[in-house]
Amino acid sequence: MLTTNDTPYQIDQPVVFFPGTLCDERIFNSCWQHLDIPMRAFVPLQWAEDLAQMKMLSADRLAYFEQPVHLVGYSMGGYIAALTALENQSRVASLTLIASACDELPEKEIQQRQQLLKIIKNKQYRGITEKRLKCFFHDCHQQHSEYLNIVKQMDQDLGAAVLAAQISAVQPRKNLLPDLAKCPFPVHLVSGEQDDLVSESTMLDMHKLLPNSDMTLIKNAGHMLPIEQSRALAEYLASKIA
C-alpha cells in the first residue's frame, strides 16, 4: 500500500504492459501502485492459445490509443512486446524490456522446456517447486513469503494448460536483435542485479548489439524485479517514459 509520503510517479503518455510466463496483472500490481498512468493498457497473454492470438491481443491494445505507445514487457512478455514493436514501428514510442532477452533460446533452455512440455502432457505437472520458485528471487527475498506467494498463486490459478500454451507459442524463438538494432525508437533494458534467468552478461550483450538502447541494473532484485523492487521500477519507468 502507498503511504502518504509515496506520491505516485506521473506518466502522461500511453503505456502498454506485457506479462511474463504464467503471469497476469499481479506481476505489475505493486509497481502500478507507485504510478499514475491515465493511459494504461495490459495485454492478457495468459488468454492466448498460441503466438497468433498473442499478436492479436497485442495489436488490439495498441489500437486503444491514437498516439505512439510505450511498450513495457516483462520476461516472455518482453519478447512479445519486441515482436509487436517490430510489426508496428510507426505506432511505437519506446520499448522497455524487463528481465527479458530477445535472442534465440540456449540449447539447455530448449531442452528444459521440451521436458516440461512432456511432463505437462503426461499430466504430471504439480506446480512450481520451492527450489525453482526461489531461483526467481534475489537472495535477500527468498524467504519473503508475501513475494513468493504472488508467484505461487499465479502459477496455481493459471495452471498447466496456460504454461504449455505459452511455452509452445514462443518455441522455436527467432533472434529479434538484428531487427531491433535498426528500429527508430529507443530500447530500454532493465533487470535485477541477481537474475538467474537473464544474466547481466546477457543484458550487456544485448545492449552492445542495440545502438538505440540503454541498460540499467536494479539492486536487491532477481528475475522477479517488478515484485521485488516495485517502487524502484516505477521510478525507472517514469524516468524513461514521462
Q: Domain-by-domain residue ranges, the chain?
A: 9-241
pLDDT tens digits, residue range 61-118? 999 999 999 999 999 999 999 999 999 999 999 999 999 999 998 898 899 999 999 9
Element spanning 30, H or E = helix 26-32
Q: Using alpha carbons, select from 12, 14, 16, 17 the residue that is nearest to residue 68.
A: 14
Quick one: pLDDT at residue 106?
86
Cell triple for residue 35? 504510478
Fold observed for domain 9-241: Rossmann fold (3.40.50)
Mean pLDDT, the chain, rounded, equals: 96
| Backbone torsions φ then ψ of 68, nearest 5 degrees | -55, 145
Burial of 107 (0-12, 13-18, 19+ CB in 10 A): exposed
The average pLDDT across 34-44 equals 98
**Residue with the three cell numbers 504464467:** 22
Radius of gyration, CA atoms only, the chain: 17
